[in-house]
Structure formats: C-alpha cells, structure tokens
Amino acid sequence: MITSHGWRRVATTLLALCAAVLPVAASPAGATAPTQQSSYRAMPEPSPVDVARAELASLNVAAPHSMAGYSRAKFPHWSAQGSRCDTREVVLRRDGQNVVQDDQCRAVQGTWFSEYDGKTVASSREVDADHMVPLAAAWRGGADEWETSERKAFANDLEHSQLIAVSAASNRSKGDQTPDLWKPPLKSYWCTYSRAWVDVKHIYNLNVTEAEKNALSEMLGTCA
C-alpha cells in the first residue's frame, strides 16, 4: 500500500491537476485549433541519480505477487481532466510538438519524439501514453493490495515520472515487463528510464525483485 506520505503527495497532485489542466480552444463546427503547450515538453523530471540510488536501496525486495484477479479495469485510467480531456490526451498534448486537438480534445495533428526508441511519430494513432511502471508490474509489486482509489491515482499520475508519450511500437514491445526483461532500445535513455522507474516505485512503496533491482542499478550506472 502507498505510504501515508506518498498518498498525501498523490492526493495533493490530483487536486492540483484538476485546477491546472489547460483548457482546449473550442472552434466553430468542430474545427480543430492549436492548443497551448505546457511549460515542459516531456514527463516530469525524476529524482537525480544520487537520490535514485538511495531510493533504489530503500525498496523492498520480494518475489512478485500473483497475477490472480488482475485486470486493467482495476486501475481506472484515462480519468477526465476537464475541458473534455482525459489523462491520455493531456499526455499527448504535453509531450508533443505543435499539437492540434479537436473540440473533443483528441489529438488530430502534431509530432511526438519517442524517447524509448528515438523515433519521431507524426500520427497520434501511432503514439501511446505509456505507464512507466506498467499496471500489471505494479500489481505484482504490491498494488494488488491497494484500494481502487489508490490504483486510479497511480494510473493517472501526471505529477511524477509515470506517464510518457512514446511510439506505440516501443510501448507494445515493452508490455508489462520490468527492466530486467526489457530496456528502451535507445540506450542513451536508460539513465532517465531507470531514475523514473525507481522514483515511481519509491513514491508508491512498490516492491522490486532482485533481478529488477540489479537491472536498475546497471542502468543507473549509465548516468553521467
């Protein structure tokens, strides 16, 4: 279960997001219009490497929990974020360049640089909003014991380094695998990826396996 401190951070985050999400510009007859861009182009910056190493050392090492009873529906995701937007569309707007959304907040134009594989994607159909720590991996790490409200906060966390727009191909290659089984093809991203993964697991007090911990330590070693 999320620590009391971590849960307060998550609750504060969700309240702030409700007020902070930028409105979508409405256009006559459903015409599309460029929306404002957020102050950063990518997901929130995870902890610095020295902090990430300390966070990794503090994580509980345990065997993965059973997948019995798991379903994505137990992590209510893509919550409404105001102005007809949901979490996914907020991520696509945040992480893209020159993003145009229609009056339903759907991204209909823009380009996205996929940090996992270094590809630039020019169609929202080829972009996924990826959970850095996949929902199933979180379940195996202890989220099976959470309340639904906690799983919802995790699945829609825009404040921490948990959601990122990447190519659909790289996201589907990753699936629900942990870093001992899958790493971004773009090795130059390993430092950020491992810091983000560790940060999320630390914030939500999720377990790691021994193999996962070793892989994360290796990846943190690529940080300059």
The count of domains in the chain is 1
Residue 29 is assigned to a structural domain of this protein: no
**Three-state SS annotation for the chain:** CCCHHHHHHHHHHHHHHHHHCCCCCCCHHHCCEECCCCCCCCCCCCCCHHHHHHHHHHCCECCCCCCCCCCHHHCCCCCEEECCEEHHHHHHHHHEEEEEECCCCCEEEEEEECCCCCCEECCHHHEEEEECCCHHHHHHCCHHHCCHHHHHHHHCCCCCCCEEEEEHHHHHHHCCCCCCCCCCCCHHHHHHHHHHHHHHHHHCCCCECHHHHHHHHHHHCCCC
Residue 27 is assigned to a structural domain of this protein: no
Residue 26 is assigned to a structural domain of this protein: no
Q: Which domain holds residue 183?
A: 4-21+46-220
Residue 91 is assigned to a structural domain of this protein: yes
The predicted pLDDT at position 47 comes to: 97
d(CA 152, CA 79): 8
Residue 28 is assigned to a structural domain of this protein: no
Residue 36 is assigned to a structural domain of this protein: no
Residue 34 is assigned to a structural domain of this protein: no
Residue 17 is assigned to a structural domain of this protein: yes
The predicted pLDDT at position 4 comes to: 42
How are beta strands 120-121 and 33-34 bridged, if at all? Answer: unpaired
pLDDT in tens, the chain (224 residues): 554 434 444 443 433 333 333 333 333 234 344 444 443 467 999 999 999 999 999 999 999 999 999 999 999 999 999 889 999 999 999 999 999 999 999 999 999 999 999 999 999 999 999 999 999 999 999 999 999 999 999 999 999 999 999 999 999 999 999 999 999 999 999 999 999 999 999 999 999 999 999 999 999 999 98
